[in-house]
Each structure stands twice: as C-alpha cells, then as structure tokens.
Amino acid sequence: MSDLTTALVFWPAGVLMLVTALYVFITSSMARAGLLLLAALALEGLLFLALASEFLGVLMLLMMSAEMVIMVFFMVMFMPDPGGLMGMDMVHDKRRSAGAAVVVGLLLAVVAVLTDWPAQVLPPDAPDVRAIGFEVMGRSMFSFLFAGMAILFTMVGGIMVAKQGGRYGVQAPAGEVR
C-alpha cells in the first residue's frame, strides 16, 4: 500500500475507533455497547491492515467479531437494563479509573514516541522470526493453554453460578410454597 492509502485508511479509522470506543461507555444498552465495541475492534483490525501488519489485522477481524458477538449475547442475558430503569452504569469508581486511564495512556504515548522502533522488515525465514515461532509454540504454549482454559472455566462457572438449578429451574426449598 502506498503512503497515501495508508494515511487515508489510518486516520479516519483511528478517529472512528476512538469515537465508537467512547460510545461503548456512554450508552446504557447492552446490545449497543457490545456492537460498538465490535465496531471499535474491527476498526483496530483495519488499522493493523493499513500498517501492513496483515496477519494481526486479519486475526483481529476474525476473532473480535466472534468474541464480541458472544459478549453481546452474554451482556443481554445477564445485564438487562431496559431503558436505563435500573440506573446501571458502565463505569465504576469513576475518579480513580479515569486517573489511572490518563496516567497509563500518557505513559504508553511517551513510550511510543520515545522508543527507537526498528525500521527494517525481516524476511519470514530470519532467525529472529524462527526464534519467536519456537518460543510461542514451545515453552510459552503452556501458559497460553492455561489462560485459555481459565477463561473457558470462568465463563462456564459464571453461567452455572448465575443460573443455579440448571435449565429446569431451582426447586423450592423444603417448606416453601411457590
């Protein structure tokens, strides 16, 4: 891609990404929040593609669609806030979280600006690329698998806790008439 195409994709997609990400926290509809988050992450995938990071961009587009749609499902199931009647808020502990977000964002921006990023592109068979491949598929694989299983068990456990009694409902305790 030429520099002009990159710029034409990068800046509008970047701005739109920030706007959609902001609206995730403004809306009180779970379906809207999930779909806006999907839009923000898909736009981030576009940013990767525009910066010629093809595999990351494609993976972002693929994984985020699936994950965010599942999240919409779960959020609508467990956090119904019809028309803002329950006074639910997407943001907790506002002052401290805003402070943390600003500090972390500034730190990351400083790191991004001050780091001396390497300019050359490595060929696919460079020793560094091979080393990363062996690291990811070898020693680090155990921690990835562990993290994946932990997330899965958390999801299943969360549903089981939230929906105790299983699909046929909770049996009334002894002595209680329903």
Partner 1 sequence: MSDLTPVAILALAAVGAVAVACLETLVAGLRPAPIGATRQALAGLREPISHPRTYDSWLFHLAPGLLLVAALSALAMVPWAPGFRGIELETGAILFPAALAYVTPAVFMAGWGGGSPLAVIGGFRFIALMLGYAMPIAMVATAVAAPVGSLRPAAIVDLQGTTVPMALAQPYSLALWVPAVMAVALLPPFDVATARGELGGGAFERYTGLEAALIALARRVLLLAVAGMTAALFLSGWHGPWLPDWLWMAVKTAAVATLMLYAGRRMPRLEIERLLTLAWKVAVPGAIAAIVLAGGTTLLFYV
Which parts of this chain interact with partner 1 (CB under 8 A)?
A: 29, 31-32, 35, 38, 42, 54-55, 58-59, 61-62, 65-66, 68-70, 72-73
Closest CB to partner 1 among residues 84, 157: 84
CB of 75 to partner 1, least distance (A): 12
Closest CB to partner 1 among residues 102, 141: 141
**Burial, 14: exposed, middle or buried (Cβ in 10 Å; 0-12, 13-18, 19+)?**
middle
Q: Are 25 and 92 in contact (CB under 8 A)?
A: no
Closest CB to partner 1 among residues 10, 48: 48
CB of 163 to partner 1, least distance (A): 15
Distance (Å, whole) CA 145 – CA 172: 40
Q: Give every CB contact of residue 25 below 8 A, 6+ residues apart in sequence.
A: 33, 90, 91
Residue 109's SS3 state is helix
CA 45 to chain centre: 12
Nearest to 68 by CA among 57, 58, 76: 76
Closest CB to partner 1 among residues 6, 65: 65
Task: Please give the structure tokens belonging to residue 162.
Answer: 């939230």
For residue 152, how many C-alpha atoms fall within 13 Å in the half-sphere facing its CB?
A: 6
Closest CB to partner 1 among residues 62, 103: 62
